Amino acid sequence: MISSPLILFLDQNNGKALHTRAGRAFYRLAMTRLIIYSALFLLTIACSKETDTPEPDQHDVPLTYRSITIDGTSNGLRYENVGRNPEIQVSFTTAIDKSSAAQAVDLVDKEMTKVAVAISFIDNDSVIVIKSSSPLEWLSKYTLTVSTNLKSKRGASLLAPVSVNLVTALDSTDKFPVIPDEELLTLVQKQTFSYFWDFGHPVSGMARERSSSGDIVTTGGTGFGIMAMIVAVERQFISREAAVGRLLKIVRFLRNNATRYHGAFAHWINGSTGQTQPFSEKDNGADLVETSFLFQGVLTARQYFTKENPEETELRNLIAELWEAVEWSWFRHNNEEVLYWHWSPDYGWEMNHKIRGWDECLITYVLAASSPTFPVSKTVYDNGWADNGNIRNNGIYYDFQLPLGPSYGGPLFFAHYSFLGLNPKNLQDQYADYWQQNVNHAKINHAYCSRNPAHYLGYSEICWGLSASDGNNGYSAHSPTNDKGVITPTAALSSMPYTPEESMAALHFFYYKLGNQLWKQYGFIDAFNLTEKWYASDFLAIDQGPIIVMIENYRTGLLWDLFMGIPEIQAGLAKLGFTD
């Protein structure tokens, strides 16, 4: 404020100075100066108003995203286990132009199909409330996007789009009545056994490769099915006499009709004629590994069906004849210290696949060493299968040490196929403790699926199991290092002896929660991919068989006891340096 001499003068003299001549003169001078000072003051104010920062333009006030909540929970930009009727609230820094929201807000599914939504506003229109007009699908991916078409009431556009991913929860209702676990295990074994019994080939009795394979039967899958028949007799799904009748049909067909190559059988056989059905162009002859799976089964049957009657006696004699005819040592190819997987009458050894571990083929070397007629030595086992010790791994994965094989263990059938008969409990040699190997392999597979590093839908502690199976993009050996989002029920269920709690939890999930999709005529379908909403239409013999057999080994150890009790097998294991 401008100070006036008059004011100062009057204040100092209480107005008395105006009664003197000098005072009045001074008063006139002061008043003149006051007028001038006041004019200057007003001019200064006016100028300062012109140079002050103007009021902000309406479009210069930024509109930015602040936060999001779904059903009252804030979890960044990714939400899982969301309900089917979620309330989504998206908060912004200023009030929203309501008319712009309809063009800016999109909720789409994984196919980019728009989902109808209802939009409202709260908190002075600074928060958009979004609800789907109809319930979302169970266990599905959705993306909510708010684009830069959104505007504030002052006309400013959203500075950057907002995108939020959400995954709805699984339908947690039970699809079947809950029954005791022992009853459930029996139900799974019985219904899965139907694949081998009701769907066995009518001429050969052998197991069809898959439920859509027509006349094609599988050598290895038949071996698994034979072991399943033993379970079926014990569990009284079928009579002993019926099982012997079916087994006689199979072994007679194998001896009299099926083409053999130095005693070995092809991977696939025509179930009506016995002729080889090529597995691939050059794989049109002997398959020593599939032959091993077959003989694991038939030798177990020989050990089980021991009654002194004509049928069981014939069965044992036919099995012994087939067993002694396999020229295991011939498959060393020029006496190399390794066994070869394939031989073709047209292409010879061109497949050039040495059987070298670690994979599903331990049983091949055990049987080859156990042969009473064409055995191989421990040197072949050490140099071939064990690759002079290179079979070892001993890495740590999710806190579990893996003695043998590839990183993370590979597909879980490595722990199943050779161990339908071989009992890994207390089984050791210079390379591994095989119980530790298989238990830790299964636990690594479970831990991987539980952590779900690839973020596939459905993977969890109760939905797990990666193994070779069909998939939405074809057949593949699924594993932690080849994960395509495909869960194969046989992986967890056939691991029941190794991971009983984790496998039982998976069984509950597969049967009770996904049963309307997975549980069919022959038990559980081969595989499924929840991310892609894909469910297999087929059943595969090599996946169905281990479920029955390994559940029984978990429950009673029946097949392990039988196979390990075979005298030739005990001699072969001792020759290779195994202790049990």
Confidence (pTM): 0.86
Task: Give the lowest-confidence range in 71-80, 163-172, 498-507, 541-550.
Answer: 71-80
- Identify the sign of the CA torsion 89, 90, 96, 102: negative
Task: Give me the pLDDT at residue 24, please.
Answer: 55
A 10 A CB-CB count for 235 gives: 18
Q: What is the mean pLDDT of the chain?
A: 92
In which band, very low, low, confident or very high, does the pLDDT at 77 lie, cut at 50, 70 and 90?
Answer: confident
Whether 230 has a pLDDT exceeding 50, the answer reads: yes
> For residue 12, is it within any domain?
yes
- For the segment 359-376, what is each residue's pLDDT rounded down to a tens digit? 999 999 999 999 999 999
- Give per-residue burial for 211-224: e unless 16+ CB within 10 Å, then b: bebebbbbbbbbbb
On whether residue 174 sits in a domain, the answer given is no
Of 168, 198, 227, the one marking the end of a domain is 168
What type of residue sits at position 410?
A: G
Q: Residue 261: pLDDT above 90? A: yes
- pLDDT value at residue 570: 98
* pLDDT (0 to 100) of residue 31: 55
Range of the domain at 16: 5-51
Confidence of residue 296 (pLDDT cuts 50, 70, 90): very high
Bridge partners (DSSP) of residue 520 are 523
Q: Label residue 5 by pLDDT band (50, 70, 90).
A: very low
State the total domains in the chain.
3
Q: What does the pLDDT read at residue 558?
A: 98
Q: What is the CATH number of the domain that holds 123?
A: 2.60.40.1220
Among residues 168, 196, 224, the one where a domain terminates is: 168
Percent of the chain with pLDDT over 70: 90
Token output for 459: 């993977």
What is d(CA 357, CA 269) in angstroms, rounded to the nearest whole number? Answer: 26
Reading the block at residue 277, the tokens are 């059905």
pLDDT at residue 457 is higher than 90 = yes
The DSSP secondary-structure symbol of 420 reads T
The pLDDT of residue 60:
60
| Residues 295, 404 share a domain | yes
Residues 29 and 157 both lie in one domain: no
Mean pLDDT, residues 461-471 taken together: 98
What pLDDT, in 10s, does the model give residues 396-433? 999 999 999 999 999 999 999 999 999 999 999 999 99
pLDDT tens string 302-353 = 999 999 999 999 999 999 999 999 999 999 999 999 999 999 999 999 999 9
Q: Render pLDDT for 553-565 as a digit per residue (tens, 0 to 9).
A: 999 999 999 999 9
Q: Are 551 and 185 in contact (CB under 8 A)?
A: yes
Same domain, yes or no, for 364 and 455? yes
Token pair for 80: 């899982």
State pLDDT tens for residues 10-53: 344 444 444 445 555 545 655 555 555 555 545 444 544 444 44
| Same-domain pairing of 370 and 224 | yes
The span from the CA of 552 to the CA of 556, in Å, is 6
Residue 550 inside a domain? The answer is yes
The answer as to whether 378 is a domain residue is yes
Asked whether residue 366 falls in the same domain as residue 275, the answer is: yes
CATH number at residue 362: 1.50.10.140
Residue 9 has pLDDT above 90, yes or no: no
Q: Are residues 65 and 153 in the same domain?
A: yes
pLDDT-derived band at 249 (thresholds 50, 70, 90) equals very high
Same domain flag for 74 and 115: yes
Q: Are residues 292 and 260 in the same domain?
A: yes
Does 176 reside within a domain?
Answer: no
Where helices occur in 257-307 by DSSP H, the ranges are 288-304
Q: Are strands 141-146 and 276-277 parallel, antiparallel or unpaired?
A: unpaired
Residue 490 has pLDDT above 60, yes or no: yes
In a domain, 70, yes or no: yes
Please indicate, yes or no, if residue 173 is contained in any of the structural domains: no
User: In 3D, which of 505, 509, 402 has the Cα closest to residue 445?
Assistant: 402
* Cβ contacts of 317 within 8 Å, gap of 6 or more: none
Q: Rounded to whole angstroms, how far apart are CA atoms 416 and 213?
A: 24
Domain annotation covers residue 453: yes
Same domain, 304 and 439: yes
pLDDT higher than threshold 70 for residue 183: yes
Same domain, 299 and 416: yes
Residues 198 and 85 in one domain: no
Instruction: State the CB neighbour count (10 A cutoff) for residue 537.
Output: 12
CA distances from 301 to 150, 240, 296 (A): 73, 12, 9
Last residue of a domain, one of 133, 168, 203: 168
Rounded to an integer, the average pLDDT of 48-72 is 69
Least confident of 59-63, 327-331, 413-417, 457-461: 59-63
Mean of pLDDT values over 69-92: 93
Residues 429 and 446 in one domain: yes
The per-residue DSSP string of 36-102 comes to HHHHHHHHHHHHHHHHSPPPPPGGGS-B-EEEEEETTB--TTEEEEE-SS-EEEEEESS-B-HHHHH
Residues in Cβ contact with 1 at an 8 Å cutoff, skipping those fewer than 6 apart = none
